[in-house]
Amino acid sequence: MKHMFLHERYYLYSGFVTEKHFSLLIEISTIRSDKIRKALSVYFVDGESRSNVCEKYNVAQSCLSMKIKELQRLSKFVYELQPFY
C-alpha cells in the first residue's frame, strides 16, 4: 500500500497542518507580513491551492513559493532539534 505522505515527518502538507502547529512555526519565523502570514495559514491549515491563495490575498506566486520553502526549512530545523529536548 502506498503512503499518502512521501516526505519526512517534518514536511508540512497543505491542509494537514494544525492551527496551533502553524502558529508556533510562524511565530519563530522571520515572516512578518500579515498578508503573507494569512496566505500561508490558508494554504497550510485550510488546504487551499496556491493559485487561489495568491489571487485571494494578492500575493505573487513566486513570493508565496519562497515563503512556503522557508517554513518547510524551519519545520525541518525544529524537527532536528527534538533530540536535544
Residue 76 falls inside a structural domain: yes
Q: Show the domain range for 59.
A: 19-84
Which are the contacts of 26, defined by CB distance < 8 A and separation ≥ 6? 37, 40, 41, 71
CA 62: distance to chain centroid? Answer: 15
- 60 vs 74: CA distance, rounded Å: 21
Which are the contacts of 49, defined by CB distance < 8 A and separation ≥ 6? 14
| pLDDT of 2 | 44
CATH of the domain at 79: 1.10.10.2690
| pLDDT of 5 | 54
- 43 vs 69: CA distance, rounded Å: 13
Provide block-wise average pLDDT over 10 residues at a time, the chain (85 residues). Answer: 61 96 98 98 98 98 98 96 94
Angstrom CA distances, 84 to 10, 27, 78, 79, 81, stand at: 16, 21, 11, 10, 6
| pLDDT of 32 | 98
Residue 13 falls inside a structural domain: no
Name the pTM for this structure.
0.89
Provide the residue type at 83 as one letter.
P
| pLDDT of 8 | 80
Residue 67 falls inside a structural domain: yes
